[in-house]
Amino acid sequence: MPSNKTGLTPVEAVKEAIENGKLGKIYSIQLSCFWNRNDDYYANSWKGTKDLDGGTLYTQFSHFIDLLYWLIGDVKQVHSFMANYHHQETIEFEDSGVAILEFYNGAIGTVNYTVNSFGKNMEGSLTIFGEKGTVKIGGQYLNELEYQQIKNFEIKNLPKGNTANNYGTYVGSMSNHDKVYENLVEVLTNNGVISTSSFEGLKTVEIIDKIYSQAKRFNNYALQGTCYRYN
């Protein structure tokens, strides 16, 4: 049975499928964030500093972690590897990392991220393996439904995703910031419903902090291209 709802983004359509039980129990996930951030991006800026930037997951990929929490749920524990391979002269933290996650609902997964994709952004994708189906939301910014195989169900009629924000020397995330401002105006002027609560925002920060916390605890923050295991 296909889903004929129009206007949903791939992420929203998959969220709806999960909530309606179309994928059954979620077994595991793979989140991939492969972007390019060259030296010009970080030059003469707060970007890349520990105090104001905080880390690659905070500035580049927090939206992806937020969507992971929204779709799959809260994270119970983390093991991770991180290193700075290519930006040792420009940033004060990692440019690549891999995290293994265990969710409170029993699902497991990995987050593989880097800003070392050569020349340009390559991919932002989330693959979900469930009891009754497998889906992959892909493209560069989670803006395309690249794969689906779901028992007696099909997601259809998805609109074309928004283009990315082009800043000249680099390309940013998908252009959806206008939706945030529209929601804010609606809440303030027409008693609208806020799309994202402060609690959800704090949860995203909490998950990212879990990924970094073990590195800080064991003082194994990798800055010289050596890969460490944080556990």
Distance CA 84, CA 91 (A): 8
Residues 137-151: tens digit of each pLDDT: 999 888 899 999 999
State the pTM of this model. Answer: 0.85
Residues 56-114: tens digit of each pLDDT: 999 999 999 999 999 999 999 999 888 899 999 999 999 999 999 999 999 999 999 99
Q: Does residue 217 surpass a pLDDT of 70? A: no
Residues 40-68: tens digit of each pLDDT: 999 989 999 999 999 999 999 999 999 99
With beta carbons less than 8 A apart as the criterion, state whether 17 and 153 touch: yes
Distances, alpha carbon 114 to alpha carbons 57, 97, 203, 209, in Å: 9, 6, 22, 17
Distance CA 129, CA 25 (A): 9
For residues 130-149, one letter each, b for 16 or more C-beta atoms within 10 angstroms of the residue's C-beta and e for the rest, the string is beebebbbbbbbbbbbeebe
Distance CA 227, CA 21 (A): 39
Q: How far apart are the first and last CA of the chain?
A: 44
How high is the pLDDT of residue 163? 63
Q: Residue 223 burial by CB count (10 A; 0-12/13-18/19+): exposed, middle or buried?
A: middle
